[in-house]
Amino acid sequence: VHPLLFAIGSERYTPFLNERRPQEILTIANHILGKNQLSLAKYLFIAAREDDESLDTHDLSAFMQHVLSRMDFGRDLHFHTQTTIDTLDYSGEGLNSGSKVVFAAAGNVKRLLAEHLPEGLTFPLGFIAKFAIPGVLILSGESYQNAEKTEQEIQSLNAHLLGHNLNGLAMIVLCDDAGFTAENINNLVWIAFTRSNPATDIHGVGAFTKDKHWGCSGPIIIDARKKPHHAPELIKDQEVESKIERFFVEGGVLHTV
């Protein structure tokens, strides 16, 4: 499965503007999503090299924080809907069918990412909230039921969050196990981006559509709970593993392989 790409580009179209915004990197993003195996990705995070010469796409946490701290959520999310995704990605509406989204960031920092809940913000009994990385809150509660129930849950969550200072929150990930998802960056990107279809599972506080463009005042909400149409998890069978491991011990037929 190819759910997530990180990329770095350059912003040279309008160097004379006082406020820089994603422009050239959007052209680059379109090129990436139209090229060979790269076109299988669902989520593309792209940043401008000029904002930080030390940017490294292999440092997942730092790269996500760089992008999320600079994005204008009302402007810098760009969806490709009713399109193709990886055949082995079962988060979409059908075989090879789903959506993509570009998270584009260029310009100055717009928010300082929080590591703690805003003062006075709590969640109803049964919800577990943990920070995975600064600015990204993991929230687990009820399991996914259906699209109609999810719409009600998102509306309720929006109403609960309104009135709080959410500027330090960039993303909320709804999941089945907040402890596991927030444990490390690998768990975060695996859960958030393999178990969601951007067009159906991305929501946001203060969401709106203007001139066919979807945005929100923030934060972004990703519903990464397991859905009925998802493939079952591949879990190791300890009994089978123990039978196989004997071939790799000293004296076994596969010891030197």
Domain residue ranges of the chain, discontinuous segments joined by +: 4-105
Write down the pLDDT at residue 71.
97
Write down the pLDDT at residue 1.
54
pLDDT-derived band at 196, boundaries 50, 70, 90: very high
Tell me the whole-structure pTM to 2 decimals. Answer: 0.90
Percent of the chain whose pLDDT exceeds 70 = 100
* pLDDT 10s digits, 98-155: 899 999 999 999 999 999 988 888 887 788 999 999 999 999 999 999 999 999 999 9
Q: Considering the chain, what is the average pLDDT of its residues?
A: 92
* pLDDT 10s digits, 213-254: 999 998 999 999 999 988 887 888 888 888 888 888 888 888
Residue 184, pLDDT > 90, answer: yes
pLDDT-derived band at 18, boundaries 50, 70, 90: confident
**Lowest mean per-residue pLDDT among 18-32, 99-113, 155-169, 206-220:** 155-169
Write down the pLDDT at residue 244.
87
- Amino acid residing at 119: E
Q: Are 210 and 163 in contact (CB under 8 A)?
A: no
Q: What is the DSSP string of the chain?
A: ---EEEEEE---S-TT-SS--SSHHHHHHHHHHTSGGGGG-SEEEEEEGGG-TT--TT-HHHHHHHHHHH--TTTSEEEEEEEE--TT--SSSBTTEEEEEEEEE-SS---PPPSSPPTT----TT-EEEEEETTEEEEE-SPP--HHHHHHHHHHHHHHHTTS--TT--EEEEES-HHHHHH-HHHHHHHHHHS--HHHHEEETT-EEETTEEE-SS-EEEE-S--TTSPPP----HHHHHHHHTTTSTTSTTTT-
Q: What architecture is the 4-105 domain classified under in CATH?
A: 3-Layer(aba) Sandwich (3.40)
Mean pLDDT of 189-195: 95
